[in-house]
């Protein structure tokens, strides 16, 4: 094709010029649309990367927080066992005071819901307050988180409200036996075990 006559032909007559303008506008529109689509997809890609980064940062911070908590509690004498931190006291307090001690440290008196946990509490070989009470309703024993008893390790003939006394708080007493729990008056002073369950 001979270019010069063609270009001249297109530009030299008014009608052809008009056609060229329409064609150019059409082409520009197509180009614009293409560009729009390209830009949009690449920008969405960026947003994705940003979201992933944000998520990774969040996960990192959460993990660091857990690690720091882990270090802090270990440092203060808490021991880790199967998903929870436990603290066994050196002093003795009433059941209620023992419980506040735990609550002030983001924990509560120990809740025993497995044989492993039961063994764990027994091995200290002491009379120890646990998170068990029937203070709200006599004879209805509940854990401090409000859950009813499922696994029970009451000692022989316990709970017995011994000699008609109000024995509304639970302790480990007969630690030589797997069935070690006893009900005892809440105002007596015992050592205690706190448990802080780690969020999954
Ligand atoms: C203590 C007291 C009671 C318990 C009996 C079991 C003598 O009282 O701990 O709560 O039931 O011992 O012998
Ligand atoms: Ca008792």
Distance 162 CA to ligand 1 centre (A): 6
* Tens digit of each residue's pLDDT (9 = 90 or more) over 57-115: 999 999 999 889 889 898 999 999 989 999 999 999 999 999 999 999 999 999 999 99
Q: What is the mean pLDDT of residues 31-59?
A: 84
Q: What pLDDT is stored for residue 69 in this prediction?
A: 85
**135 or 12: whose pLDDT is higher?**
135
Cα Rg of the chain (Å, integer): 37
d(CA 112, CA 119): 10
pLDDT tens digit string along 8-33? 455 545 677 677 767 887 888 788 88
For atom 3 of ligand 1, the residue with the nearest CA is 162
Measured from the CA of 158, which atom of ligand 1 is nearest?
11
Report yes or no on whether pTM surpasses 0.85.
Answer: no
Q: pLDDT digit string (tens) for 136-172?
A: 999 999 999 999 998 999 999 999 999 999 999 999 9
**Which of 159, 162, 171, 179 to mutate to test ligand 1, by most ligand atoms within 8 A of the CB atom?**
162
Query: What fold characterizes domain 80-197?
Result: Mannose-Binding Protein A; Chain A (3.10.100)
Closest residue by Cα to atom 11, ligand 1, is 162
Outline where the chain has alpha helix (H). 3-12, 14-75, 95-103, 115-122
Q: What is the pLDDT of residue 17?
A: 66
Supply the pLDDT for residue 28: 81
Cis status of the peptide bond prior to 38, with omega within 30 of 0 = no
Domain segments of the chain: what residues?
3-77, 80-197
Residue 43 in this model has a pLDDT that exceeds 70:
yes
Q: Whose CA is nearest to atom 13 of ligand 1?
A: 162
Of all ligands present, the nearest one to the C-alpha of 156 is 1
b/e map 144-181, b = 16+ CB within 10 Å = beeeebeeebbbeebbebeeeeebbbbbbbbbeeeebb
Pocket of ligand 1 (CB under 6 A): 158, 160, 162, 167, 173, 182-184
């Amino acid at each position: 094709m001979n270019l010069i006559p063609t270009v001249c032909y297109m530009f030299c007559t008014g009608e052809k010029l008009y056609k060229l303008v329409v064609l150019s506008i059409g082409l520009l529109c197509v180009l614009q649309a293409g560009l729009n689509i390209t830009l949009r997809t690449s920008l969405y890609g960026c947003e994705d990367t940003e979201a992933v980064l944000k998520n990774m940062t969040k996960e990192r911070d959460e993990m660091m927080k857990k690690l720091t908590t882990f270090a802090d509690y270990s440092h203060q004498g808490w021991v880790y066992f199967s998903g929870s931190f436990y603290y066994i006291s050196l002093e003795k307090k009433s059941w209620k005071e023992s419980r506040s001690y735990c609550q002030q440290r983001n924990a509560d008196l120990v809740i025993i819901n497995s044989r492993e946990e039961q063994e764990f509490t027994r091995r200290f070989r002491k009379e120890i307050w646990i998170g068990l009470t029937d203070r709200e309703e006599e004879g209805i024993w509940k854990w401090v988180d409000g859950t009813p008893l499922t696994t029970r390790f009451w000692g022989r003939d316990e709970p017995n409200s011994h000699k008609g006394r109000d024995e509304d708080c639970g302790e480990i007493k007969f630690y030589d036996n797997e069935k070690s729990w006893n009900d005892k008056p809440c105002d007596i002073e015992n050592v205690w075990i706190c448990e802080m369950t780690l969020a999954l």
